[in-house]
């Protein structure tokens, strides 16, 4: 497989994952994704931002989230976010440190 085809297939897989998480499973909370898989929608948006920045495209966290979520993050959060209990929040703190580091959450 040539590099261009591989890149196109990887991009298609990413778009399918995004569509699945945003359209088919918006009910799955980011905290549950992070606690189980070590990443969430915000991570995917951050990876998008980092890839853009690596290529010289200036993109803020908010811009990347708007691209990924298809709307401002706070709007998506208001429509789909449920408050987590203390056990989920504690597990999230561990998962975040292990997978993302000590960066500011949110």
Tokens of 29: 């909370």
CATH of the domain at 25: 1.10.3340.10
Residue 94 in any domain: the answer is yes
Residue 106 in any domain: the answer is no
* Per-residue pLDDT at 90: 87
Residue 105 in any domain: the answer is no
Domain residues for 93?
A: 3-99
pLDDT digits (tens, 9 = 90+) for 18-33: 999 999 999 999 999 9
Residue 104 in any domain: the answer is no
Into how many domains does the chain fold?
Answer: 1
Using the CB atoms, write b or e for 77-89: b if 16+ within 10 Å.
eeeeeeebeeebe
Whole-prediction pTM value? 0.81
């Amino acid at each position: 497989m040539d590099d261009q085809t591989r890149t196109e297939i990887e991009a298609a897989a990413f778009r399918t994952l995004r569509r699945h998480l945003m359209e088919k499973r918006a009910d799955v909370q980011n905290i549950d994704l992070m606690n189980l898989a070590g990443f969430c929608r915000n991570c995917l948006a951050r990876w998008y931002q980092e890839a853009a920045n690596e290529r010289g495209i200036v993109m803020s966290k908010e811009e990347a989230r708007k691209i990924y979520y298809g709307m401002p993050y706070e709007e998506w959060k208001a429509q789909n976010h449920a408050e987590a209990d203390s056990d989920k929040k504690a597990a999230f703190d561990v998962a975040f440190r292990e997978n993302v580091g000590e960066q500011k959450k949110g």
